[in-house]
Structure 1
Amino acid sequence: MKILVTGGAGFIGSAVVRHLIENTAASVVNVDKLTYAGNLSSIARAAASDRYSFHQVDICDEARILDILRTEQVTHVMHLAAESHVDRSIDGPAAFIETNLVGTFRMLNAALSYWRELSEDARAEFRFHHISTDEVFGDLPFDSGIFTEDTPYAPSSPYSASKAGSDHLVRAWHHTYGLPTVVSNCSNNYGPYHFPEKLIPLVILNALHEKPLPVYGKGANVRDWLYVKDHARALELVVTKGVPGESYNIGGNAERTNLSVVETVCDLLDTKRPRAGGQSYRDLIGFVADRPGHDRRYAIDASKAERELGWRPVETFDSGLSKTIDWYLDNEAWWRPIREKNYAGERLGQSA
């Protein structure tokens, strides 16, 4: 296999690249524009492999993508490149429409042209795997069920709307043109190499710097949490064993309120890196204005992936979070330059 991974320098994409190089015989072609959240140091060890190649390309450049598909003789595409921060999508939705929607359209066009040129056997092997989010399903009441692959789409934010649109495009290219596509929708990821603007790394690093730990609203919003290495394993199975035209939900079966997540990070840090004065990191928690249109709850039913692909998460939320905190404590050389360059303390997503 030769797998083209878009967004392979991002958080989930880099986990996929590392997993494929370290645990499979596949060759990896990494295509990444290297926006603010892309970081080649996240895949430094994988990049040393002779099975790895890199192209700094915008996914909206359809001609370049088609040329890479042809030159590299790609057998599978894993499309992860996306703008993904909900607060940023509220302040600047245009970039999300351009990358997530138009970029996916360009990727599909390039893949379709390439696929049509392949031999019959190669066409049968080829897959276009689109990686999406549970946020496309919208707001889930606290007292209702969980998201399945058949849950109707009801996106709430510019980010989730752009991802929902891209999901629909992928399915349309399968049903209209026959392109062998699969879609996966995941819950909130966490783990090593997570960009510091997201909740868990933000809380870890703010705590270590004795800065306030902001919790939106009352902290009652619920998310299902998935360790990124478990997700990478699942994505490999989807792209190699998934049935064209199907979608697969990937979740960690670990629902937590945002406040509970923050408090758990604080409690673990109290043990792993106690504050100089002996106080708890919980004392740094502060409640701030809620995000506009903040969905109450997301929860994933991953039984289809377990049943049909043989996947299930290895890490519990507690074990995965402990490993994540240990990684940030041990890898200041990775996060400090990012933190110093990008962190200004400003709150995003309040312009609605």
Structure 2
Amino acid sequence: VNGWRLGHMRVLVTGGCGFVGAAVVRLAVERGDNVLNLDRRKKSVAVPALGNTAQREGYARLEANVTDRPMMRAIVREFAPDAVIHLAASSDDDPEAMVDAELGGAFAVLEAARQYYERLDGEKRENFRIVHAEQSDGDVPVKTTRARAARGAAAALLDRWARANDLPLVTCVAGEAFGPWQSQSSFMAQLVSSLIYQRPFQLERGGETVRDWIPIRDLASGLLQAAQIAPAQSRFDLSVGAERRDIDIAESVCALLDERTPMADGELWSNLLTIEGDGYGAPGGPMLDSREAERELGWRPQGFHTGLDRLLTWALASHAASQARRAPPVPGHLAAE
């Protein structure tokens, strides 16, 4: 990782090919930071969410597993970051592998950062930060998922271990992030995809589940602001004030589609929505308050409507490109190989 130009910050991002990580990497590179993206995905596999980042000056990607403690110590020591933003998460279905990845990754990052931090002095030591993103799901249901349990255990380890070792950890708490290139397992991605392909979409629990929505770019900017400005061992809520029921979100998306691309037969997009259940037991929102982040970090999110507009613009363009690739050749023209 030699040949780095002088930049704004030197940022090590773990899991930089994931949904949140890629957004952080792109924004950091855009604003002039030197970024090392550490992710276990093979470098031969394209990551569309990273855009043209690979061609940008001040960026490098390393194919590595964050749970490898000796390797993490060497990487942190050699790269000498101003901030480590830990976003690596497990994609395993096997419970043992999931726990090993979440807890092992958190511990490897903490120990690599601890050994590095202990050798720092002066301004470099004063400014060094470890940033962690924690999702707040609001009312915690009685029955949760293994993935949430593993993530919760890793978050607790990060917090307690950092305090025990006096490490400059900053935790940013956010609700439900959304944006381009999100996994189809997420509510927003499923909703937008189903509607654009004109498939019925069912809202569970009467559509009454409440989530605090945050555009992925706003979340990324908050994490980077925290890495640069936040006091050590601090905690900030990142919210754009968009607590919405699922039915409200679905109707907002349908209304935007009615404006942008009306159905040919004059039908409303909302006719594709169906509701299951009566809302009993639907989780409430996390009630996040971002005033402290705005005041102390100077965080200025673009907001929910800008994020939703950006998502639909991307989704409609992606759908049009997909349809064009599948279209039969125009008579008199050669089909693409």
What is the TM-score normalised by the length of structure 2?
Answer: 0.83
Classify 1:278/1:83 alpha carbon distance in 2 versus 1 (closer, same or farther; 3 Å): farther
Contact 2:205 2:281 survives alignment (8 Å): no
Classify 1:155/1:54 alpha carbon distance in 2 versus 1 (closer, same or farther; 3 Å): farther
Aligned to 1:19: 27
Which of 236, 256, 267 lines up with 2:255 in the alignment? 267
Counterpart of 1:306 in structure 2: which amino acid?
E
Contact 2:196 2:316 survives alignment (8 Å): no
Aligned to 2:296: 308
Counterpart of 1:118 in structure 2: which amino acid?
L
Length, aligned pairs only: 313
Aligned to 2:128: 126
Question: Which has the higher mean CA deviation after the structures are superposed, 95-104 or 241-250?
Answer: 95-104
SS at match of 1:295: coil
Listed as ranges, the matches of 1:291-330 within 5 Å are: 295-315=283-303, 317-330=304-317
Which of 260, 267, 273 lines up with 1:285 in the alignment? 273
Counterpart of 1:69 in structure 2: which amino acid?
V
Q: Rg: which structure is higher?
A: 2
Question: Structure 2: how far apart are the matches of 1:63 and 1:81?
Answer: 17
Question: Structure 1: how far apart are the matches of 2:210 and 2:70?
Answer: 42
Question: Structure 1: how far apart are the matches of 2:301 and 2:255?
Answer: 24
SS at match of 1:64: helix
Classify 1:116/1:30 alpha carbon distance in 2 versus 1 (closer, same or farther; 3 Å): same
SS at match of 2:177: strand
SS at match of 1:275: coil
What is the TM-score normalised by the length of structure 1?
Answer: 0.80
Which of 326, 331, 334 lines up with 2:318 in the alignment? 331
Say whether residues 1:61 and 2:55 are aligned partners: no
Aligned to 2:195: 207
Unaligned runs of 5+ in 1: 141-153, 337-352
Counterpart of 1:302 in structure 2: which amino acid?
S
Which of 7, 10, 25 lines up with 1:2 in the alignment? 10
Listed as ranges, the matches of 1:144-293 within 5 Å are: 156-288=144-276
Contact 2:139 2:284 survives alignment (8 Å): no
Classify 1:302/1:197 alpha carbon distance in 2 versus 1 (closer, same or farther; 3 Å): same
Contact 1:33 1:56 survives alignment (8 Å): yes
Unaligned runs of 5+ in 2: 1-8, 324-337
CA shift, 1:164, in A, is 2.7
Question: Structure 2: how far apart are the matches of 1:157 and 1:41?
Answer: 29
Question: Structure 2: how far apart are the matches of 1:280 and 1:96?
Answer: 43
SS at match of 1:129: strand
Classify 1:126/1:67 alpha carbon distance in 2 versus 1 (closer, same or farther; 3 Å): same
